[in-house]
Amino acid sequence: MRLLPHPATEDIELTEVLRALADPIRLKIVARLATVGEMTCGEATDHLGVHKSTASHHHRALREAGVVYTKQEGRLKYISLRRYDLDARFPGLLDSVITASGDHRAVAASGERGRD
């Protein structure tokens, strides 16, 4: 049910993934996905403090980099981490990033806007 363009596992590139993760907003999305497993785009947007079009832009960036998988169900779109694929391609990378983003204020520090 892949209605949206997702890169194949073998086409996921390291620099693309790193670039996708190198943004406070997107890191926030990833960190949240790591705990909730899955959420709708709208639910994700509510926790970001940016315009919905901006959130959509970030969701696409993550999807096109191969970091998240997006599936549609009715009017909603659910996003989730492509853990299996990422682990297969870049072992340990996602885990270390998620762990790092969960500690201290590594994420909040650069992207905070007092709206969390």
65 binds, among its own copies, DNA, none (CB under 5 to 8 A by kind): none
How would you class 32 by CB atoms within 10 Å of its CB: exposed for 0-12, middle for 13-18, buried for 19 or more? Answer: middle
Of the candidate residues 9, 19, 112, 113, the single one contacting its own copies (CB under 8 A):
19
Choose which of 21, 27, 29, 41 interacts with DNA (CB under 7 A).
41
Residues 30, 70, 82, 89: which binds DNA (CB under 7 A)? 70
Using the contact rule CB under 7 A, the part of the chain among 18-26, 29-37, 87-95, 99-107 near DNA is 18-26
Angstrom distance (rounded) from CA 16 to CA 101: 18
- For residue 105, the minimal CB distance to its own copies (Å) is 9
Which helix (H) or strand (E) segment holds residue 106: the answer is none
| Smaller CB separation from its own copies, 71 or 83 | 83
89 sits near its own copies (criterion: CB under 8 A): yes
Task: Please tell me whether residue 21 binds its own copies under the rule CB under 8 A.
Answer: yes
C-alpha distances (whole Å) from 55 to each of 13, 48, 99 are 22, 8, 23
In order of 24, 60, 65, 69, 81, the CA distances from 10 in angstroms are: 26, 19, 12, 15, 16
- Can you tell me the distance from the alpha carbon of 55 to that of 102, in angstroms, rounded to the nearest whole number? 21
Residues lying near DNA in the complex (CB under 7 A) are found at 19, 23, 25, 40-43, 45, 50-61, 70, 72, 74-77, 111
